[in-house]
Amino acid sequence: MSDAVKQERRRAQRVDATLAMNLHLDLPQGGGDIETINVSSTGVYFRTPTYIEPMTKLAMSFDVEHDEGETKPVECEGIVARVQPDLPSETVDTYEVAVFFTTIDAESLHNLERYVERRLAP
């Protein structure tokens, strides 16, 4: 690729966010601590100690800051779009997983969009 500026191809802006997340999926090693890396209104990128196969359907939930000192829940379903590293390995401690949301209710979407907007505001 040339030195030209890369054009953002995502439909929704992402913001860095370190949020504790619950996966509603039985994982072989129990899932461990799962923490988001970034979020948008269309997906989430997170770390997990367990490899999750691409195209896996999963349900997840996490809380986002709504107003100072107040949090609101986000509950959604999605499909694993990408995993890094892309193959399971006994030498890997952490995998980074990108999930595209397939289902998110109106209230959760509102909570997430408000969170992203607040994080983007100067």
> 40-78 pLDDT, tens per residue?
999 999 999 889 999 999 999 999 998 878 999 999 999
Boundaries of every domain in the chain: 15-120
Read off φ and ψ for residue 95, nearest 5 degrees: -115, 145
pLDDT tier at 27 (50, 70, 90 boundaries)? low
Q: What is the CA radius of gyration of the chain?
A: 15
| Element housing 95 (H / E) | strand 95-104
Question: Structure pTM?
Answer: 0.84
Full DSSP string of 30-77 = -----EEEEE-SSEEEEEESS---TT-EEEEEEEEEEETTEEEEEEEE
Q: Domain spanning 15-120: which superfamily? A: predicted glycosyltransferase like domains (2.40.10.220)
Q: CA-CA distance, 21 to 17, in Å (whole number)?
A: 11
pLDDT tier at 121 (50, 70, 90 boundaries)? confident
Q: Which two three-digit tokens encode residue 33?
A: 């601590």
